Amino acid sequence: MASDFLPGFDRHRIETAPGVTIHARAAGRARPASSGPPVLLLHGHPQTLSTWLHVAPRLAETRTVVAMDLRGYGDSSKPPGGERHANYAKRAMAADAVAVMRALGHDRFAVVGHDRGGRVAHRLALDHAQAVERIALFDIAPTATMYARTDKAFATRYFWWFFFIQPHPLPETLIGADPEYFLRHHVEGQSKTPGSTPPDLFAEYLRCYADPACRHAICEDYRAAAGIDLEHDAADSQARVTAPLLALWGAKGTVGQTYDVLETWREKATDVSGRALECGHTLQEERPDEVFSELAAFLG
């Protein structure tokens, strides 16, 4: 039985596309859904919606909060990748997010995305601009920018970007030899705050990572990012996110040490603000109080 890291949050299973059901949790200042401005929380790899355990309940004191497992992750469906891995394109994942929020009664909302969830949020703000009130992105630079500026240092520190995209079943087979070792190495390497992912939370991530279908879906996510997502980005190279955008990143992490994060987002959006936090990659686990304060101020 999975641990419940968001007590008081209702559970939902919402069909967003043929063969795709998204697992979501929702709570807020009051029900029905019209009470409290809505915000959607999107996790990254290798986390699940449980990564928001320190932030979501505090946001829910004044807002309606929805956290969802991206397709392929957590307890959401893990469909086949399809031709050119299109079922894991950020466009498909963004469409899931819009469908989830509409099913819960929200046509316009703020979105907060960490890591892969931030890439979904970026695509969401481009494809569904009318739905996005504000957007906050945690510890990412734009995908196309990161691939275009790849050098030895980045490829070494973010090796999984290039490992996961190898043809099936090579990465799936190698990770499957010892999923716990790989996951622990990844989580501990990304975080710069010892103990910020406690054993019970790591066990929740491992519960999902132990599923071969999840590991395959994760690889498909990265394969899409290195292919069809870049094509979508190239087609939209002149488009700009018009919603206010908050970028937060870890000063001790690869993104913060490799890029001028604000400048990369000013190339993609018209209204950008943000700053570094003294942590690694997983801001919402390493510095939850600061993350909450930044979001409370940004979301209003």
Q: Known catalytic residues? A: 115, 281
How far apart are the C-alpha atoms of 296 and 136, rounded to whole Å?
Answer: 11
Q: From 294, 296, 292, 247, select the one nearest 272 (Cα to Cα).
A: 247
Within a 13 Å sphere around the CA of 88, how many CA atoms are in the beta-carbon half? 28
SS3 category, 69: coil
* Contact (CB, 8 A) for 62 and 36: yes
Residue 123 region, left (φ>0) first, then alpha (ψ -120 to 50), else beta?
alpha
Other C-beta atoms within 10 Å of 105: how many? 13
SS3 category, 53: coil
How far apart are the C-alpha atoms of 291 and 261, rounded to whole Å?
Answer: 17
Torsion of CA 121, 123, 126, 127, to 10 degrees: -110
